[in-house]
Amino acid sequence: MVMDQQGAVIPKAEIVVEGKPIKEPIAGITGPSGEWIQPKLAAGRYKVTVKAQGFSTFNSVVEVRDGTLLALKVKLPVAAVNTTVEVTAELGEIMGPMAGILSAVPNSIPSAPSARGGFSPMRQ
């Protein structure tokens, strides 16, 4: 059975069982109740991997013995979320309107900030 840290079942979790007693890995998906059943595993050691979207991956090795019913309850912790936001702009996009204003008025006097916070013409 696969569940989250609060005990809620996780349907559609991917389970893979692999080991020397079997030739090919066995894969399955948990049902609506968070359960997956694989009957008749030969005795031996198996690696069990459980994955579900939004959760950390679970890996463990289990020992299966003849005639023993093996039941695992796997609690998956929520995966860490890292978000990176990158903002880029080309220089022409930032300077475009300003460059257009300065080039449209030939022989204009550049402006400088005034004490009141606005712009006033610079004097030479």
Q: How high is the pLDDT of residue 29? A: 96
Instruction: Give average pLDDT by consecutive 10-residue segment, the chain, 124 residues.
Output: 94 94 92 90 91 94 81 88 70 55 52 53 52
- Domain locations in the chain as residue ranges: 2-76, 91-121
Looking at residue 98, its amino acid is M
pLDDT confidence of residue 64: 87
Task: Provide the pLDDT for residue 94.
Answer: 53
- Superfamily of domain 2-76 in CATH is Carboxypeptidase-like, regulatory domain (2.60.40.1120)
pLDDT (0 to 100) of residue 5? 92
Question: Phi and psi for 93 in degrees, rounded to 5?
Answer: -70, -35
Give the model's pLDDT for residue 111: 54
Exposure string for 24-45, b = 16+ CB within 10 A, e = fewer: eeeeeebeeebebeeeebeeee
pTM > 0.75: yes or no? no
